Chains A and B, each alone.
Chain A
Amino acid sequence: MNWERFLDALSRVPHELSIHVIMVLISLAVAIAISLPIGVILTRPRFRKMGALVMNILNLFQAFPGMAIIALTMPVLGMGLKPAIGALVVQALLPIARNTIAGLYGVDPNTKEAAQGMGMSERKVLFEVELPLAMPVILAGIRTSAVYVVSVGTLAAYIGGGGLGDIIVAGLNMLWAEFIIVGAGFGALLAIFFERGLSYLEYKFTPPGFTITK
C-alpha cells in the first residue's frame, strides 16, 4: 500500500465521479424517455401484437455483454462520452420497458373498467389510474437499470468516456492496486446509493392504499 498513490487516486475521484454520475443520469433519462412510452404503447390493445417482437429485440440488446456494446458503438459514434452514453442507453432499455409492461398489465382490470365506465377518457385512465398504480413496478425497473448502468459505465473508460472507469483502467495498466480499489470502491458505493435512493422513491410512490393496513 502506497499512501501517496492512494491519495493521488482519491484526488481524482471528484472529477471522475461527477462525470460518472452525469453519464448515468443522462443514460437513465434517455432510456426512460424511450422505454416508458414503448411500454405504454405495447400495452394498448392496438399494438399488443407487436409486444413479443419489440421485447425480443430489447432482450437481444440486453444479452450482448456490456463490453461488446461499448466497443460496437465506437465505430458508429466515435470516442468520448457520447458513444458511452449511447451504449449505456441500449443496455438500460429492457428492464424499464419490461417493468412498465408488467406494471401496466398488473393494474386490476376492474379498476380500469370502472374508471372507463364512469366516463374517463383513455388518456385520463392512463395518467390517473394506470400509471400511478403501475409506478412502483416501473420504478423497480428503473432501479435495476440504474445499478446496471453504474457498473457497465466503468467500461466507458475504454472508449474515452471518462468516469470512475478511468481510475480503474489506470490502475490496471500500472498494476496499482490503490487505483483499482478507489475506482471500484466508489463505483460500488455509487451503485448502492442509486439502489437505496430509488428504493425510497418506490416506497414513496406506492399508493397509500396499498401500504396502509387495517
Chain B
Amino acid sequence: MIELHDVTKIYAGQTVPAVKNLTLKIKEGETCVFVGPSGCGKSTILRMINRMIEQTSGTILINNKDIREADPDRLRMGIGYVIQQIGLLPHRTIAENISIVPRLYGWDKERIRKRVDELLELMGLDPDETRDKFPAQLSGGQMQRVGVARAMAADPPIMLMDEPFGAVDPIVRGHLQDEFLKIQREMKKTICFVTHDINEAIKMGDTIAIFEKGQLVQHGTPQEILSKPKNEFVRTFIGTDRVVKMLTLFQVRSITKDNYSIIRENELANIRQKMDDEGAAVGILMNESAKPCGLITRDDLEKAGELNPEKIKEIACGKKDAFIDGDLLLNDALSLMLEWNCDYLGVLDGAQLIGIVSFDDIRECVRRKEGE
C-alpha cells in the first residue's frame, strides 16, 4: 500500500539528514506507528508521504504509484491528515470544518450534511449540539475528535496522524485511543501514526517502527519489538518494564485454564477429595444462584489443616473479589494478583465463569512469547 524505498531527506542548509536511507512497507489496512525521541525524523517521514515535504532522494509509492507523479493537492485530498495542533479553521463552524474535503470533491449539500452528522455521531459528539458551533467553543478533547472526523470525511483509504491525541490529558487520551481502535477495527484504513509515547505505540500499532536520528532501528509487531529489542537503544526506549509492557498485548482470556473445581456449600466437607479427583488447583465456591462467591487454593487448604467446612468457607469468601473480566489484559491481572496477594484469579465473561488464571500461567506465557 505505502512503500518507501531508500528515502533520504536533507533539509536545506543542513548536513545531517533528517531521514536517512529509509525503506519501509506499510500493508493495506495496517496501522504502522512511527515512534522515537524528538527530532528522530518521524514527523518528516509522515509529511513526505503527503508531499508536504519533498524527499531529497528515493521513491515513495502509494498503491505502486510514485507520489511525485500525482498532483499534490489531489494526492492530499485522498489522504486523511490529523496533526497534534488539530488546526481547525477558527472562522468556520464545526460542520464547515468537517466538510472541507467533501466540498473540494464537490459533493452536493445534502450528501455533505448527512456525512457530517454521521461522523459527529461516530466520534461520540451530538450532531445537533455541535454542528453549528465554532472551534473555540469546544473542549480540547472535542476538538481532537472533530480533527479526526474531518480527516475521515471523504473516507480516504489512508490516514496520516501526527500525535493526534497528544494535546489532551491522559484520561481523555485513553478514551480517544479506545474509540479510535474500535472505529479502525471496522474501517481497516491504512494508517501511519506518529507518537513519541511507546505505550501509545504498543496500544495502537499493528506494527511499530522505531527511529533514532533519522534511521529506522527496528520495524515489527509490538510483540516482536517487546520480546526481541534489536539493540540497546530500543531496549532503553522501551524501558525496564519491557516484560510488563508485553503483558499489555494479551487478554486474560487467552491464557485461562480450566483446572478448577466448582464447590457448592454442601460439598465443602469433602473439598479436598473433589479437587484431587478433578485434578484441580483451585476450588471455586458457588452460591445458590450459581454465581462464584469465593476462591480457595490448595495452598490455602494445606494451611487450614483441619477440614472444617465453616473455616474453608471463611477463607474462600475472603477472596470473593478475586475474579476479573476476561477482556482485561495480563498486566492488569498481574497487578491484581500482587494487590490481593493471591496466585490465582477466577476469570469471568460477564457473570459467567470461564476459567482461572495463575501467576505461573502468566510467567509461562512470558517465557513462551520471549522464545517465539
Cβ contact within 8 Å between B76 and A118: yes
Q: Return the chain A residue nearest B87 by Cβ.
A: A114
B85 at the interface (CB under 8 A from A): yes
Chain B, residues 78-109, CB within 8 Å of chain A (1/0): the string is 10010101111111100000001100100000
In the bound complex, CA of A116 to CA of B147 (Å): 14
Question: Which residue from chain B places its CB closest to the CB of A108 in the assembled complex?
Answer: B87
A129 touching B101 by the CB < 8 A rule? no
B74 adjacent to chain A (CB < 8 Å) = yes
**A209 and B76 form a contact (CB under 8 A):** no
The answer to whether A119 and B85 have CB atoms under 8 Å apart is: no
By the criterion CB–CB under 8 Å, are B136 and A119 in contact? no
Q: Contact: B87 with A110, CB < 8 Å?
A: yes
Q: Identify which of B78, B83, B136 contacts A113 (C-beta below 8 A).
A: B83
Verify A110–B85 contact, CB threshold 8 A.
yes
Residues of A contacting B85 in the complex (Cβ-Cβ under 8 angstroms): 108, 110, 114
Check if A110 sits within 8 Å of B83, measured CB to CB: yes
Whether the pair A209, B90 counts as a contact (CB closer than 8 A) is yes
Task: Let me know if B52 and A212 touch, CB within 8 A.
Answer: no
A119–B104 CA distance with the chains assembled, in angstroms: 8
Q: Tell me whether B135 is interfacial, beta carbon within 8 Å.
A: yes
Q: State the CA gap A208–B91 with chains docked (Å).
A: 6
Does A111 belong to the interface (CB within 8 Å)? yes
Partner of B137, one of A110, A113, A115, A214: A214
A116 touches B137 (CB 8 A): no
User: What's the Cα separation between A118 and B126 when bound, in Å?
Assistant: 24
Chain B residues whose CB sits within 8 angstroms of the CB of A115 once the complex forms: 87, 89, 100
Judge whether A75 is part of the interface by a CB distance below 8 angstroms: no
Cβ contacts under 8 Å, A212 to chain B: 134, 136-137
Say whether B52 contacts A133, CB under 8 Å: no
Q: Which residues of B contact A209 (CB under 8 A)?
A: 90-92, 134-137
Whether B358 sits at the interface, judged by CB under 8 Å, is: no
Tell me how far the C-beta of A107 lies from the nearest C-beta in chain B, rounded to whole angstroms.
10
Decide if B73 is an interface residue (CB 8 Å cutoff).
yes
Q: From A119, which residue of chain B is reached at the shortest CB distance? A: B77
Interface centre among B83, B85, B89, B135 (most CB of A within 10 A): B89
- Could you say which residues of chain B place their CB within 8 Å of the CB of A113? 52, 83, 87
Q: For residues 122 through 157 of chain A, which have their beta carbon under 8 Å from a beta carbon of chain B?
A: 124, 128-129, 132-133
CA of A214 to CA of B78, assembled, Å: 34
Contacts of B223 in A (CB 8 A): none
Residues of A within 8 A of B151 (CB): 118
Shortest beta-carbon distance from B12 to chain A in Å: 12
The verdict on A3 contacting chain B, using a C-beta distance below 8 Å, is no
State whether A116 touches B136 (Cβ < 8 A). no
In the complex formed, the residue of B with least CB distance to A113 is B87
B31 contacts the other chain (Cβ, under 8 Å)?
A: no
Q: How far is the CA of A128 from the CA of B97 in the complex (A)?
A: 12
A210 lies within 8 A of B90 (CB): yes
Find out whether the CB atom of B135 lies under 8 angstroms from the CB atom of A117.
no
Query: Which residues of chain A come closer than 8 Å to B160, judged between CB atoms?
Result: 117
CB-based contact B52/A116 at 8 Å: yes
When distances are taken between beta carbons in the complex, the residues of chain A under 8 Å from B75 are 119
Give the distance to chain A from B131, nearest Cβ to Cβ, in Å: 14
Does A2 count as interface, using CB distance less than 8 angstroms? no
The answer to whether residues A120 and B134 also contact, given A111-B89, A114-B86 and a CB cut-off of 8 A, is: no
* Contact assessment for B76 and A117 in the assembled complex, using a CB-CB cutoff below 8 Å: yes
Provide the bound-state CA to CA distance between A128 and B136, in Å: 18
Q: A213 within 8 Å of B by Cβ?
A: yes
Residues of B participating in the A interface, judged by any CB pair closer than 8 Å: 50, 52, 73-78, 81, 83, 85-92, 100-101, 104, 134-137, 147, 150-151, 160
Give 27 A-B contacts (CB < 8 Å), ordered by A residue: A108-B85, A108-B90, A110-B83, A110-B85, A111-B87, A111-B90, A112-B87, A113-B52, A113-B87, A114-B83, A114-B88, A114-B89, A117-B83, A117-B87, A118-B81, A118-B101, A118-B151, A119-B74, A120-B73, A120-B100, A133-B90, A207-B90, A208-B134, A209-B91, A210-B90, A212-B134, A213-B136
Known: A114-B81, A119-B75, A212-B134. 20 other contacts (CB 8 A): A110-B85, A110-B87, A113-B52, A114-B83, A115-B87, A115-B89, A115-B100, A117-B76, A118-B81, A118-B100, A118-B104, A119-B73, A119-B77, A119-B101, A133-B90, A207-B91, A208-B134, A209-B137, A212-B137, A213-B136
Interface of A with B (CB < 8 Å)? Answer: 108, 110-121, 124, 128-129, 132-133, 207-210, 212-214
